[in-house]
Structure 1
């Protein structure tokens, strides 16, 4: 049968003829989402932009380390509908890349979010000046389809947190008279 000009998918082109009446398995017509398809969804998820915390707050002291960490949640769970399948994606922060703002040591990479002193995992010694530090988080994930066994999402995605600017100052020695 020839398709008339202007016909759209789903338009009726002729009369229906019943060939047989039966139940047909249409699973092959709508297979479960592939890992690559889930990865495409994973890349578009609203993953958090983790904030950079640092100590000491406000100003650092030249020659003493500035400690970096993030307190934000490092695991996020999302449920998405992919062609009628309930896909649960569990994203987890895998790598933290700290941009120090110091040309002498531009990045520091860890696999943990760190913490304030004494649980620090990332620290940097600065000279006096003004610096802008930021954090890029690399996320990996696993997924399930309609309650299946978990599988790895093939690939990672990243988020960039907001930058934080701080000053590092030199300590000045001051002589005092202990008898005053």
Structure 2
């Protein structure tokens, strides 16, 4: 039996205020895209970070059991800035950060009835 494996990430928005040439500049980078590498040669792209169990926002069903895979996620950030509290301006480029791979052992479950049934 193949159970859905739940994936999720907990990325944070990056926000900084700096002084540049005497001007107050606010910069903000927000996660926008996630590429989930399942470790079995497949990947999925989403616009959400998934969520912990019992949510099943981002899932993958492995076809091979008794193997260890190394899943990871790449998070792409979109950025914007504003000067002296003015209007926000989007930065057209994005930045992708590759997350570290984690070891995941794939197991197989078999349904078994137990007890006395007459």
TM-score normalised by length of structure 2:
0.84
Task: State the shift of 1:107 in Å.
Answer: 1.0
Give 1:81's aligned residue.
19
Give 2:79's aligned residue.
141
Q: Rg bigger for which structure? A: 1
Q: How does 1:21-32 map to 2 (within 5 A)?
A: none
Instruction: Say if 1:110 and 1:121, in contact at 8 Å, map to a contact too.
Output: no
Give 1:37's aligned residue.
none
Higher relative contact order (CA 8 A, sep 6+): 2
Task: State the shift of 1:175 in Å.
Answer: 7.5
| Structure 2 CA distance for partners of 1:90 and 1:178, relative to 1, 3 Å | same
Task: State the shift of 1:176 in Å.
Answer: 5.9
Determine which structure has the larger strand proportion and give its number: 2
- Please, which runs of 5 or more residues in structure 1 have no aligned partner? 1-61
Instruction: Say if 1:69 and 1:120, in contact at 8 Å, map to a contact too.
Output: no
Asked whether 1:69 is paired with 2:8, we answer: yes
Q: 2:48 aligns with which of 112, 132, 141?
A: 112
Number of equivalenced pairs: 115
TM-score normalised by length of structure 1:
0.57
CA–CA distance in structure 2, aligned partners of residues 175 and 154 of structure 1: 58
- Please, which runs of 5 or more residues in structure 2 have no aligned partner? none
Determine which structure has the larger helix proportion and give its number: 1
Q: CA RMSD in A?
A: 2.1
CA–CA distance in structure 2, aligned partners of residues 177 and 156 of structure 1: 58
Task: State the shift of 1:131 in Å.
Answer: 0.7
